[in-house]
Amino acid sequence: MILDGRSAEAIEQAARTLRAAGLVAFPTETVYGLGADAANDAAVAGIFTAKGRPSDHPLIVHVSAGAGQAQAIEHFAQPLPDFARRLVEAFWPGPLTLIVTRQHGVARAAAGGQDTIGLRCPAHPVAQALLVACAAQGVAGLAGPSANRFGRVSPTTAQHVQGEFGDDLLILDGGPCAVGIESTIIDCSRGVPVLLRPGLITRARIEAACGERLRTRQDVGAPDPRASGTLEAHYAPSAKVRLMDAAAIRTALDLLGADARHIAVWSRAELKSRSSHLLQRRMPDDAAAAARLLFAVLREFDAQGVKLIWVETPPDEPAWEGVRDRLQRAAAAG
Per-residue DSSP letter, 236: B
**Residue 86 binds to ligand TXA (criterion: CB under 6 A):** no
**Residue 97 binds to ligand TXA (criterion: CB under 6 A):** yes
- Residue 229 C-beta: closest distance to Mg ion, Å: 6
- Residue 179 C-beta: closest distance to ligand TXA, Å: 8
**What's the full length of the chain, in residues?**
334
**Residue 156 binds to Mg ion (criterion: CB under 5 A):** no
Q: Which does 267 bind (CB under 5 to 8 A by kind): ligand TXA, Mg ion, none?
A: none
Q: Cβ contacts of residue 124 below 8 Å, gap of 6+?
A: 27, 28, 29, 174, 177, 178
**Angle between the N-to-C axes of helices 287-303 and 321-332, in degrees from 0 to 180, rounded to the nearest 10:** 30
**Residue 300 binds to ligand TXA (criterion: CB under 6 A):** no
Q: Cβ contacts of residue 255 below 8 Å, gap of 6+?
A: none
Which one of the spans 84-92, 94-102, 143-151, 301-309 is the region binding Mg ion (CB under 5 A)?
143-151
**Residue 120 binds to ligand TXA (criterion: CB under 6 A):** yes
Q: Which does 322 bind (CB under 5 to 8 A by kind): ligand TXA, Mg ion, none?
A: none
Q: Which residue is nearest to Mg ion (CB)?
A: 146
Which one of the spans 52-60, 200-208, 210-218, 290-298 is the region binding ligand TXA (CB under 6 A)?
52-60
d(CA 124, CA 147): 16
Nearest to 19 by CA among 133, 119, 173, 162: 133
**Residue 40 binds to ligand TXA (criterion: CB under 6 A):** no
**Residue 97 binds to Mg ion (criterion: CB under 5 A):** no
User: Of 64, 97, 146, 189, which one interacts with Mg ion (CB under 5 A)?
Assistant: 146
Reduced to 3 states, what is the DSSP secondary structure of residue 147? coil
Strands 194-197 and 184-187, by their bridges, are antiparallel
User: Of 173, 182, 312, 321, which one interacts with ligand TXA (CB under 6 A)?
Assistant: 182
Q: How many CB atoms lie within 10 A of CB 192?
A: 15
**Residue 230 binds to ligand TXA (criterion: CB under 6 A):** yes
Burial of 328 (0-12, 13-18, 19+ CB in 10 A): middle
**Residue 33 binds to ligand TXA (criterion: CB under 6 A):** yes
d(CA 290, CA 96): 19
Question: Where do contacts with Mg ion occur on this chain (CB under 5 A)?
Answer: 146
Question: Where do contacts with ligand TXA occur on this chain (CB under 6 A)?
Answer: 28, 30-31, 33, 57-60, 97, 99, 111, 114, 116-118, 120, 122, 144-146, 182-183, 185, 196, 224, 226-230
